[in-house]
């Protein structure tokens, strides 16, 4: 089983350095969504396990639905909307999209500050970031998850961006999937709670 790590919006492959290092027994590959470098998506096979953070999980499921298994960290099935399973109201995302259009640097600084995150090193690609926001506005993978097989959703009760209820909705769309919630860790569980994430992933892999 190979773990295919896909980072979230506004981040880079190095986001997974600590968590990946705690899973040395597993073959691994990482995607680069191109926000800070050249885009790269490893060719995935039917025996691979998707490990996606936030937007990265959404992208992984957009790429294919026949993963051997999946782990969604701070993940969701749909992002902007009202009702069950959504993370933010449409107006919140629209505000960020507008700000990206005329003050990209300020928009990114606001995003990282809101999560308590350190920006990746390098220059960001505003075009690819804006494209990612469009995907967040338009994508709902609820139907895909119904046929995606058993997975694992990891969430934090204090996540300011992805409510635990959104992760619970995600897990509920894939029969037999599990939700694990930790009290603190925010939207950066692979960075803030890597040990806990690794323990949950190891337990999940033992039963895949």
- Tell me the per-residue pLDDT of 15-46, one tens digit each, with 9 for 90 and over: 999 999 999 999 999 999 999 989 999 988 77
On the question of pLDDT at 204 being above 80, the answer is: yes
CA distance 42 to 29: 7
The CATH code that applies to domain 2-205 is 3.40.50.1820
- Report the DSSP pairing between strands 151-156 and 178-182: parallel
pTM over 0.95, yes/no = yes
pLDDT for res 208 = 82
What is the three-state SS of 18-72? HHHHCCCCCEEEECECCCCCCCECCCCCCCEEEEEECHHHHHHHHHCCCCCEEEE
List, as one string, the DSSP characters of the chain.
Answer: -EEEEE--TT--GGGGHHHHHT-TTSEEEE-B-SSSS--B-PPP-TTEEEEEETHHHHHHHHH-S--SEEEEES--SB-BSSSTT-SB-HHHHHHHHHHHHH-HHHHHHHHHHHHT-PPPSS---HHHHHHHHHHHHH-B-HHHHHTS--EEEEEETT-SSS-HHHHHHHHHHSTT-EEEEESS-TT-HHHHSHHHHHHHHHHHHTT-
pLDDT for residue 142 is more than 80:
yes
Question: How big is the CA angle at 71 (ends 66 and 77), to the nearest 5 degrees?
Answer: 75
pLDDT in tens, 179-194: 999 999 999 999 999 9
Tokens for 6, please give them. 């896909």
Identify the top-confidence range among 26-35, 59-68, 137-146: 26-35
Which residues lie closer than 8 Å to 72 by C-beta, 6 or more apart? 52, 57, 151, 152, 153, 154, 167, 170, 171
Of 85, 54, 65, which Cα lies nearest the Cα of 171? Answer: 85
């Amino acid at each position: 089983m190979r773990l295919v790590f896909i980072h979230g919006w506004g981040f880079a492959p190095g986001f997974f350095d600590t968590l990946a290092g705690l899973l040395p027994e597993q073959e691994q590959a990482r995607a680069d969504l191109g926000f800070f470098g050249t885009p790269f998506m490893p060719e995935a096979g039917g025996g691979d396990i998707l490990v996606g953070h936030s937007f990265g999980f959404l992208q992984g499921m957009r790429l294919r639905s026949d993963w051997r298994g999946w782990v969604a960290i701070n993940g969701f099935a749909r992002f902007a909307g009202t009702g069950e399973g959504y993370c933010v109201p449409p107006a919140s995302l629209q505000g960020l999209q507008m700000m990206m259009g005329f003050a990209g640097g300020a928009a990114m600084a606001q995003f990282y500050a809101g999560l308590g995150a350190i920006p990746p090193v390098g220059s960001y690609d505003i075009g690819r970031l804006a494209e990612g926001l469009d995907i967040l506005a338009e994508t709902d993978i609820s139907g895909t998850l119904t046929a995606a097989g058993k997975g694992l959703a990891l969430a934090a009760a204090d996540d300011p961006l992805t409510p635990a209820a959104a992760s619970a909705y995600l897990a509920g769309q894939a029969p037999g999937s599990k939700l694990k919630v930790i009290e603190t860790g925010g939207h950066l569980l692979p960075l803030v709670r890597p040990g806990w994430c690794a323990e949950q992933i190891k337990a999940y892999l033992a039963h895949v």
